[in-house]
Chain A
Amino acid sequence: MSSPGPLSLLAACLLPVLGAFAVDSARVGLWGVGVELVALGWLARDPRRSVKLLAFGILAAISIFVSTYLYGGRHLDESAAAALRIVYIVLPAALLTPVIQPAELGDHLAQRLHLPSRPVVAAVVALQRIESIGEQWRQVQQARRARGLGPDNGVVRRFTGLASTAFAVLVVSMRHTASTAVAMDARGFAAATQRTWAGPAPWGWSDSIVLGLGIGLSLFPWFLFPWFF
């Protein structure tokens, strides 16, 4: 069986959000998260990154637990449900995001979903520059440090440091963008009527199965859970 494409994986990341609305007690939440882990766990490819991504969600769940408990009338079960609602939403993303490749996603969005091709290509071009933007980011921060402007301690200084780094990176990237645009238009990007793409965008059996799992997870807390238990 071929591995599923980015569209079905994306759907499996997003559909459980609909199910999360129905997580109204700790019991439903715990069952939901367990079912989710079994349903989507086999698709994960990069366990280390998944754990890292999940850590963000766990921290958020703890924080929402505390704040719902303090500001929502001190109901333990309701607060636990709020926390598990977050885990139910974040877990699919943590498992599947490392599997989704931006360039491949662009190919599929344009060819299969027929999103407007020029914005999709522009987005993919920009996404492919994440690496070089990250490198520029590091260089700007090193330069700031060398000039005695960092490291940024404290919330305010951290924020202003972030803003001025973003500004510097933005200026460099914009200059680069102008020449990219001329190069693309020289190859007829603006006026092309027929376009070719980097790769094909097939929809296989595995995609249907993953989509089905996503739909199942969106329904589980609403219908399947009350029906089974």
Chain B
Amino acid sequence: MNSTRITSPLLRPHGSPARWRTIELLTAAIIGVVFGVAYWGYSSTYTALPGLKALTGPFVGLVNGPWLIAGVISGLVIRRVGAAFFAEVLAAVVSTQLGTEWGWTTVISGVVQGAGAELAFAIFLFRRFTWPVAALSGALAAVGGFCYEWFTWLPGFDLEYKLGYLGAFVISGALVAGIGGWVLTAALARTGAIDALPAGQEAARHNAV
């Protein structure tokens, strides 16, 4: 940092994972809002199928993965402390504003799921952003969501249902949100839209060599 002092905030190197640049804050927020709208679109589809939900049993957990993707993508793209948490919570706020079947408790879900997604990146000290870390992030987000649902939506069910639901939720979280989020981030880097952000810079370095 001493020899080459770069003044443009857009081009400053990565730095400490706790120190956010403006573009990173705004990008995390935009990821939250865009996926909040998408979550809402998805939840409208989901709510329109009550019969299907009732009859598929614990496997309904398999369709929960998409709700965890904002946190994973934000964590992968921005690589800062709190990025996954911030985007997932904001996405929950946005979908609540637009209307979901869970009211403002959607935000509580967003908080516990965001905390789970964040935990995976924290375990690797915000240094590794590979697909296994992304999958772990999606899986832990599902575990976070499950811990909350244990007390709210699941009390009437027997234990086998709950465990089956947890398994389905984690698989869906790891595959759809984790791997899916990683693929989406890679595609995003290819478009050049995130060139100013760590994930985009890494992709650019790869392409340059």
- Is B184 close to A, CB under 8 A? yes
CB distance from B32 to the nearest CB of A (A): 7
> Judging by beta carbons under 8 Å apart, are B26 and A60 in contact?
no
> Judging by beta carbons under 8 Å apart, are A57 and B23 in contact?
no
CB distance from B79 to the nearest CB of A (A): 15
> Judging by beta carbons under 8 Å apart, are B32 and A167 in contact?
no
For B102, the chain A residues whose CB sits under 8 A away are: 56-57, 60, 89-90
Main secondary structure of the interface of A (DSSP, over half): helix
> Judging by beta carbons under 8 Å apart, are A63 and B104 in contact?
no
B 19-33 contacts with A by CB, 8 A = 20-23, 25-33
> Judging by beta carbons under 8 Å apart, are A63 and B53 in contact?
yes
CB distance from B115 to the nearest CB of A (A): 16
CB distance from A91 to the nearest CB of B (A): 8
> Judging by beta carbons under 8 Å apart, are B157 and A71 in contact?
yes
For A166, the chain B residues whose CB sits under 8 A away are: 34-35, 37-38
Interface-side segment among B91-99, B130-138, B167-175: B91-99
> Judging by beta carbons under 8 Å apart, are B37 and A10 in contact?
no
Main secondary structure of the interface of B (DSSP, over half): helix
> Judging by beta carbons under 8 Å apart, are A133 and B53 in contact?
no
> Judging by beta carbons under 8 Å apart, are B9 and A185 in contact?
yes
Residues of B in contact, count (CB < 8 Å): 66
Contact with B along A177-212 (1 / 0, CB 8 A): 110111011000110000000000000000000000
> Judging by beta carbons under 8 Å apart, are A123 and B22 in contact?
no
> Judging by beta carbons under 8 Å apart, are B54 and A134 in contact?
no
Could you jot down 28 A-B contacts, CB within 8 Å? Answer: A13-B104, A14-B105, A17-B152, A56-B101, A57-B103, A59-B47, A66-B51, A67-B53, A71-B158, A72-B161, A73-B158, A90-B101, A90-B105, A119-B20, A119-B82, A123-B90, A126-B26, A127-B90, A130-B94, A162-B38, A166-B34, A167-B184, A177-B23, A177-B30, A181-B22, A181-B26, A182-B10, A189-B22
- Sample of 8 more A-B contacts, CB < 8 Å, known A167-B184, A167-B187: A10-B104, A14-B104, A64-B153, A66-B54, A68-B157, A90-B105, A165-B38, A190-B21
Q: Which residues of B contact A (CB under 8 A)?
A: 9-10, 20-23, 25-35, 37-38, 41-43, 45, 47-48, 50-51, 53-55, 57-58, 60, 66, 82, 86, 90, 93-94, 96-97, 99-105, 107-108, 151-153, 155-158, 161, 180, 184, 187-188, 191, 193-194, 196
